[in-house]
Structure 1
Amino acid sequence: MNLPLNATPEPALLASPVVELRQYTLKPGKRDTLIDIFDGRLIEGQEDVGMTIIGQFRDLDRPDMFVWMRGFDGMDARKDALTAFYGGPVWAANSDAANATMIDSDDVLLLKPAWPGAGFDLSGVLRAGLTVDRKTNRNKPLPGIVVIRIHHLRLGAETTFANRFETEMVPLITASGARLLAAFVTEHAENSFPRLPVRARENVFISIMGFDSAETHARHEATIVGSPAWQVFWQTVRPDLTQSTETLRLSPTSRSRLGR
């Protein structure tokens, strides 16, 4: 297989059993600064110690939000990888510059696949390499968008919700033009790296979908909301929802794996 210039070959499968969804509130106007630091200096250092940097994004509806996901081979592997990275030279060299862009970095959900096979399959996905002309390419987003929907559930409802979503909603979603990239529920295991807080009291189901454009997503939403099957599903599960669903419309950065 011929690889594109500046592309990094990936392993056959990257479907982490433990995933963090991280939402950072940034100082006004600092998002591109953080993306430049993250994409240019922090990806390889994290992956060198055993993490998978799954995707990083601009939030299309919140100009000062940076959203990203990383994966681990398990909770012990997470502890080891985070210990190595945050105690290592790459973070030491770049932490001051990265932290200077942030107001809050503690909005973190710890997740696991919602059913067998629901994690990310990144087989054959290529991340753009570091280009020589980073000044031109550093802030160029990828085409398409990623949409994350966070459903807040009462404790104990996640298994039933996930089963119904897989059997009833997945066929409906994919038939109306979406690509279901993954689905997750809260990982309730004890935080193995307490230096970085997570939202431990949350109980969520998360769907992650890919679309060719914001317009494609809008058409998908208009179609699916009018479906009787969609209406029946949400009427049935409404008693299990504890608050309004959050929807994140995300534009992948130029070096994001997810969204390519």
Structure 2
Amino acid sequence: MQPSDFASCAVVEMRRYALRPGHFDDLQRVFQPWLVASQEQAGMRLGGQFRDREDPDRFVWFRGFAGMDQRREALESFYYGPVWQAHRDAANATMLDSDDVLLLRPTEPAHHPAAPATPGLPGPTASPTWAVAHVWALPADAGLEAWLTTSGHAVLQRAFGVPVAMWRTEPAENTFPRLPVRDGRFVVSLAMFEDGERWGLAADRLESEPEWRRITARLSEAGVTSEVNHLQPTATSGHPMPAVAGVVEG
């Protein structure tokens, strides 16, 4: 069974590639015309492709699957298929490291991403979208994870004023070991803003939230580390549609 869209995927990969200096565009000349549609045809659903705004040689992208067994089937179909075999050398030549991969699943309750933007169309989908991905590395504490993905999520979404998608580590064994994934427990959030100005206002609101300061203090005491990725969609990115900033409850 193939997922109908990225939002319905039960398993998600967040993939972050370190590229050879100056080779981001070289990778996109292979990825965009050849590797987007072929992965979708193999049963995956791509959830956005991005350039890191603070590291122009880092490519960040998301893809999803109906489940772990379907992930194995889709990856086998793609990586052993003719399109990847024809273009893998050109793609791999641009990369220094492609092993920074998080294997994820929806939180409980689930915080699904919004419907995807349509690349190339005028209007809101063509705005200079500013994507923000937070990644928290957690200790082996299920209670802390549950707290961050419920109370923490509510604070993030209230401060940002836009929908905040969120995932947690998928603990199942990697069904396609040819592609390694990182060990550990992670929580990832993804929020979409129309532009950098709206993100800046949202970040200011978050910093002024007393409850968020309490949350970050507790996370720090527990040894949680975090990073924020500021991302720019590529031309063919099917990232979630940016919402007009406002007050979003829950």
Query: Structure 1-normalised TM-score?
Result: 0.83
Matching of residue 148 in structure 1 with residue 148 in structure 2: no
Per the alignment, in what secondary structure is the counterpart of residue 245 of structure 1? Answer: strand
**In structure 2, do the counterparts of structure 1 residues 185 and 167 end up closer, same or farther at CA, with 3 Å as the change threshold?**
closer
Distance 1:211 1:128 in 2: 16
Corresponding residue for 1:188? 171
The equivalent position to 1:68 in structure 2, one of 61, 66, 79, is: 61
Unaligned residue ranges in structure 2 (runs of 5+):
242-250
Equivalent residues of 1:51, 1:81 under 8 A apart: yes
- 2:103 is aligned with 1:103: no
CA deviation after TM superposition for structure 1 residue 236, in Å: 2.8
The aligned residue for residue 7 of structure 1 is none
CA distance in 2, matches of 1:187, 1:166: 14
2:229 maps to 248
Alignment of 1:109-124 (within 5 A): 109-122=102-115
Shift of 1:121: 4.3
Q: Which runs of 4+ in 1 moved over 4 A?
A: 10-13
Which of 41, 45, 49 is the matching residue for 2:42?
49
Could you list the per-position Cα deviations for residues 113-164 of structure 1 after superposition, in whole angstroms to 9, with x for gaps in the alignment?
1123323343xx35337x9xxxxxxxxx852111111111101x2x433433
User: 2:187: which partner in 1?
Assistant: 205
Q: How large is the Cα RMSD of the aligned pairs?
A: 2.2
Contact persistence 1:146–1:208 (CA under 8 A): yes
- In structure 2, the partner of 1:94 is 87
Residues 178 and 41 of structure 1: CA distance in aligned 2, closer, same or farther (over 3 Å) = farther
Q: Percent identity?
A: 37
Number of aligned pairs? Answer: 235
- Counterparts in 2 of 1:143 and 1:120: CA distance versus 1, 3 Å: same
Counterpart residue number, 1:232: 214
Q: Which amino acid aligns with 1:43?
A: V
Structure 1 stretches lacking a partner, 5+ long: 1-9, 132-140
Q: Does residue 161 of the first structure (1) align with residue 144 of the second (2)?
A: yes
Provide the residue aligned with 2:246 in structure 1.
none
Whole-angstrom CA distance in 2 between matches of 1:175 and 1:239: 24
**Cα 1:126/1:151, change in 2 over 3 Å:** closer
Q: Is the 8 A contact 2:15 2:62 kept in 1?
A: yes
Distance 1:23 1:144, change over 3 A: same
CA apart distance, 1:180: 3.2
Aligned to 2:103, the other structure's residue is in SS state: strand
Aligned: 1:175 with 2:158: yes
- Structure 2 residue aligned with 1:216: 198
TM superposition shift of 1:209: 1.1
CA distance in 1, matches of 2:171, 2:154: 28
Q: Give deviations 1:6-53, integer Å, cap 9, x for gaps.
A: xxxx95774211001100011111101212211111111111111001
1 CA distance for matches of 2:227 and 2:10? Answer: 23
Q: CA deviation at 1:207?
A: 1.2
Question: Which is worse superposed, 110-119 or 81-90?
Answer: 110-119
Deviation at 1:215, TM superposition (A): 2.1
* C-alpha contact (below 8 Å) 2:132/2:230 kept by paired residues: yes
| Alpha-carbon distance between aligned partners in 1 of 2:137 and 2:174, rounded to the nearest angstrom | 20
Determine which of 76, 82, 94 is the counterpart of 1:83.
76
Task: State the partner residue of 1:136.
Answer: none
